[in-house]
Amino acid sequence: MPSLESLPPELLCSILSHAEPFNPTIKQYTVNFKTCKHNLESIITHPLYNLAATSKHLKDTVEEYARILLKKHAKFHGPKKSNKFIYRKKWLKWLDATCQLCHKKSVRKAIFDNIMTCCATCDKKEWPKMTMTDASHKHNLSRLDLFTPNILHPDLPKLSVALYCCMGTNATMLLEREVLERKRYIHDLLGDHAKNTAFMQSRRNRHLRIIKHMDVTIHRGKWIRQSHTLSAEKKESKSMSSAEERRRFTEKMVEQERMYMQG
Ligand SMILES: [Zn+2]
């Protein structure tokens, strides 16, 4: 029966290409209880390391594979002869600390690809993006237009969403290309209404009211249920007074919005 070790090197390299060779972020932290310190050599549980740990033959294969990757992508030629040099270690370190687009030093990961090291300049250039607030205010798209599918747009696909932590707060990011495409689609549905800025602004506010009556909110780019608590200070409107009233209001408003979308 053939084993991994009996396979020809080309086939082994093809198998290794599925062992997350371009993901430098797989790490698992364990503590060395004797010293109470992280032992850097023992924490790496990357599939390439796991495979290399199984036998000398697979270790040599992984090393050769990492050497080829370094030569091809980093133009790095390792020492001619050294028993101490570890190519897989060098490869993962290089991936983790080098922008994969311009090859400058960087440790940040791309906002829309959290395993790819990418400097801020390349990230901006390669993936033009905007915050949810900009998509909503500058392009007059409501949250119901952006975070689909939902009650108003049950058949619209999901847009790509990523979170970006900036000064301690998470900003919800969307790809510019997808937002503009969505805008064109919504404008087509709305026909002449879309040319009326005041209409578009009040439409956005109406959608906020629908969302409020649905007892849902957007959290980390996803719709989540929000338990409804009656406000003690201000009097709630009749439409908010019970689950049945909220459901009735939502249905009526969604129906009206659908009428507008027929042009
Ligand atoms: Zn870069």
Ligand 1 center to residue 22 CA distance, Å? 16
pTM: 0.81
Largest separation between any pair of C-alpha atoms in the chain: 81
Ligand 1 center to residue 95 CA distance, Å? 12
Ligand 1 center to residue 224 CA distance, Å? 35
Domain extents for the chain?
A: 4-97, 128-260
Omega before 47 cis (within 30°)?
no
For 73, residues 6+ apart whose C-beta sits below 8 A from its C-beta are none
Q: Which helix (H) or strand (E) holds 169?
A: strand 169-175
pLDDT at 127: 96
Give 175's strand partners: 129
Q: Which helix (H) or strand (E) holds 180?
A: helix 176-190
Ligand 1 center to residue 107 CA distance, Å? 10
Ligand 1 center to residue 55 CA distance, Å? 37
As a whole-number percent, the residues of the chain with pLDDT over 70 amount to 89
* Average pLDDT of the residues in 150-170: 92
- CA pair distance 221, 195, nearest whole angstrom: 28
Ligand 1 center to residue 262 CA distance, Å? 45
Give 224's strand partners: 217
pLDDT at 26: 85
Is residue 92 within 8 Å of 105, Cβ to Cβ?
no
Quick: pLDDT tens for 181-228: 999 999 999 999 999 999 999 999 999 999 999 999 998 889 998 876
Give burial (CB, 10 Å; 0-12/13-18/19+) of 206.
Answer: middle
Instruction: Please give the DSSP secondary-structure letter assigned to residue 55.
Output: -
Is residue 210 within 8 Å of 217, Cβ to Cβ?
no
* Average pLDDT of the residues in 110-123: 96
Quick: pLDDT tens for 9-51: 888 888 899 999 999 988 755 555 555 555 554 556 899 998 9
Angle, helices 132-139/176-190, rounded to nearest 10 degrees: 40
Ligand 1 center to residue 106 CA distance, Å? 8
Ligand 1 center to residue 77 CA distance, Å? 22
pLDDT at 145: 97
Ligand 1 center to residue 14 CA distance, Å? 28
- CA pair distance 156, 152, nearest whole angstrom: 9
Residue 239's pLDDT band (boundaries 50, 70, 90)?
A: confident
Ligand 1 center to residue 189 CA distance, Å? 39
Ligand 1 center to residue 110 CA distance, Å? 10
Could you write out the DSSP letters of every residue in 100-132? TTT--B---EETTEEEEE--HHHHHHHS-EEEH
- Of the candidate ranges 40-49, 174-183, 254-263, the one whose mean pLDDT is the lowest: 40-49
pLDDT at 13: 85
Residue that is written with structure tokens 């503590």 in the block: 31
Ligand 1 center to residue 248 CA distance, Å? 52
